[in-house]
Amino acid sequence: MRGLTDRQRQVYDFIADSISCNGFPPTIREIREAFGFSSTNAVFAVLDALERKGYIRRHPSMARGIELLGGLPPGAE
């Protein structure tokens, strides 16, 4: 599996921490605010990359519809 950029890893960790602490993933707006992105489109670009690389699955019809796929793959540490 391809590696993550620093920003993708940070967003992945933020999602994992949110699920661990709150029991549910963050919203798109919460991710935008946490990282200072100027628009939600920037968040979507990072989430698209994480999904394409197999780290997350998104459920577009669900609020907070981000699912982690079994943690980081081997070698992604």
Alpha helices (H) along 23-77: 28-35, 40-52
- Per-residue model confidence (pLDDT) at position 1: 38
pTM comes to 0.86
6-68 is a CATH 1.10.760.10 domain? no
| C-alpha torsion sign, points 13, 14, 19, 21 | positive
- Per-residue model confidence (pLDDT) at position 72: 57
| Best CA proximity match to 62, nearest among 25, 17, 14 | 25
Angle (CA) 17 26 59, round 5°: 115
Q: Using one digit for the tens of pLDDT, what is the confidence trace for 35-77?
A: 999 999 999 999 999 999 999 999 999 989 999 997 655 445 5
